[in-house]
Structure 1
Amino acid sequence: MRALPWLYLGLAFVFIYLPVGVLVLFSFQGSTLPVPPFDGPSLRWYAEVLGDDGLTGALGNSVVVALGSSAVAVTLGFLAAYGLARHALPGSGVIRGLLIAPLTVSYLIVGLGLLIVLTRAGLGLSLWTAAIGHVVINLPLAFAIIYASMGAQQQNAERAARDLGAGEAQVVLLVTVPMLMPAIAAAFFLSMTFSWDEFIIAFLLTRFDVTLPVEIWSLLRSGLSPRLNAIGSLVFLVSVTVVLILELLVFRRRRA
């Protein structure tokens, strides 16, 4: 009976990571078909991916959109969380609900709504509009994470700083932000991860300059290849790296 939980855990990990393991394995396939038998290992497809200007350009676009949209989403999320946590506003409960509500809305609905609004406003589709879409979907997440971390400990430290003569800007920048840095960093890294992998909004709100998921979708229309496996493996590597950084710099620091 003691082995049963470990068996269940092992099967769960196999179920979750087997597709990723197969993807990574056949990214080293030497032949042109990503199917058994395995013919490798070979770095041929990684060399092709890294030497493709279209793919590397899409990769750079994804990085720029992820970093920019995450920074804006976290900044707006922090300001909203600070305002609602530290000031008694009429209808604050309704405001919080409206800020978090987009988390329950499908990305397809958000993307279509933004497409209509931006088109009516006369804005051309580009990486800027994709970044706007990613701010919309990541702002509620950033707000929820930061707002949940704003407790009495930070409020007491802020009051003490004001009693010692600090201005409001000094309180926010020198007291509130450093104390909330683990939550802010967590919100930023999670927003960056979601933006990095997001496809639907990026597909609807870009035209010529596209992000990596959209470029991968374009390649998929011509069929499967080890090249696509190599791209997927690189995307997975970046996502895992971001999560590990989040674990090492944020969660361990919070536990300590």
Structure 2
Amino acid sequence: MRALPWIYVALAFGFIYLPVGALVLFSFQGGTLPVPPFDGPSLHWYRAVLSNRDLMAALANSLMVALGSAALACTLGFLAAYGLARHVLPGSGLVRALLIAPMTVSYLIVGLGLLIVLNRLGLPLSLATAGLGHVVINLPLCFAIIYGSMGAQQQNAERAARDLGANEARVIWFVTVPMLAPAILAAFFLSVTLSWDEFIIAFLLTRFDVTLPVEIWSLLRSGLSPETNAIGSLVFLVSVALVLALELLVFGRRRT
């Protein structure tokens, strides 16, 4: 009976990580098909990925969209959280609900809605419109994380700074932001991770310059190959690196 919890944990982790393990393993396949038997190891497909200009351009586009949209979503989320936490506004509960509501809406609905609005406004589809869509889906997350971290401790420090003669801008920049830095960094890294992997909105709101998930989708249309496994492994590596950075910079700092 004591072994049952360990068996359950092993099965759960196997169910979660077995597909990723197969993806990484067959990215080192020496042949042209990512299926057993394993023929390798070989770095041929990683060299092919790194020499593919379209994939590298899509990788750069994904990084630009992820970092830009995460920064804007965090800034807007912080300002909204600060305003609703520090000032009594009419209907503040309704405003908070409306800010968090997009988290419950499908990305497909958000993307289609933005596509209709952009077409009505006559704005061309580009990486900027994809970044705008990612701001829409990440802003509620940033707001929820930062708003949940605002407590009486920060408010007392802000009052002390005002009593010492600091204006509102200096209070926010030198007191509020440093005290909320773990929450802001957590929101930023999570937003980057979600934007980095997002496909539906990026597919609907881009045209010629595309992000990496869209480029991978176009490769998959011609069938599976170890090259798609290699680029998928690189995407997984970047995502893991972001999560580890979040753990070390934010949660590790909080524990110390």
TM-score by length of 1: 0.99
Q: 2:186 and 2:3 mapped to 1: Cα distance?
A: 35
Which amino acid in the other structure matches residue 253 of structure 2? Answer: R
Matches within 5 A, 1:69-80: 69-80=69-80
1:87 corresponds to: 87
1:195 corresponds to: 195
User: What is the CA deviation profile of residues 134-168 of structure 1, one whole-angstrom value per residue up to 9, with x for unaligned ones?
Assistant: 00000000000000000000000000101111110
Q: 2:9 and 2:249 mapped to 1: Cα distance?
A: 27
1:235 corresponds to: 235
1:41 corresponds to: 41
Residue 99 (1) aligns with residue 83 (2): no
Which amino acid in the other structure matches residue 117 of structure 1? Answer: V
TM-score by length of 2: 0.99
2:170 corresponds to: 170
User: What is the CA deviation profile of residues 52-74 of structure 1, one whole-angstrom value per residue up to 9, with x for unaligned ones?
Assistant: 00000000000000000000000
Size of the aligned set, in residue pairs, is 256
User: What is the CA deviation profile of residues 177-232 of structure 1, one whole-angstrom value per residue up to 9, with x for unaligned ones?
Assistant: 00000000000000000000000000000000000000000000000000000010
1:149 corresponds to: 149
Runs of 4+ with >6 A deviation: none
Residue 53 (1) aligns with residue 81 (2): no
Q: 2:190 and 2:176 mapped to 1: Cα distance?
A: 21
2:130 corresponds to: 130
2:249 corresponds to: 249
Q: 1:174 and 1:131 mapped to 2: Cα distance?
A: 29
Q: 2:193 and 2:24 mapped to 1: Cα distance?
A: 19
Residue 222 (1) aligns with residue 222 (2): yes
CA RMSD of aligned residues (A): 0.5
Q: 2:199 and 2:153 mapped to 1: Cα distance?
A: 39
Which amino acid in the other structure matches residue 171 of structure 2? Answer: V
Q: 2:211 and 2:119 mapped to 1: Cα distance?
A: 20
Unmatched tracts of structure 2, length 5 or more:
none
Q: Shift of residue 255 of structure 1? A: 2.0
Q: Shift of residue 10 of structure 1? A: 1.0
Q: Shift of residue 249 of structure 1? A: 0.4
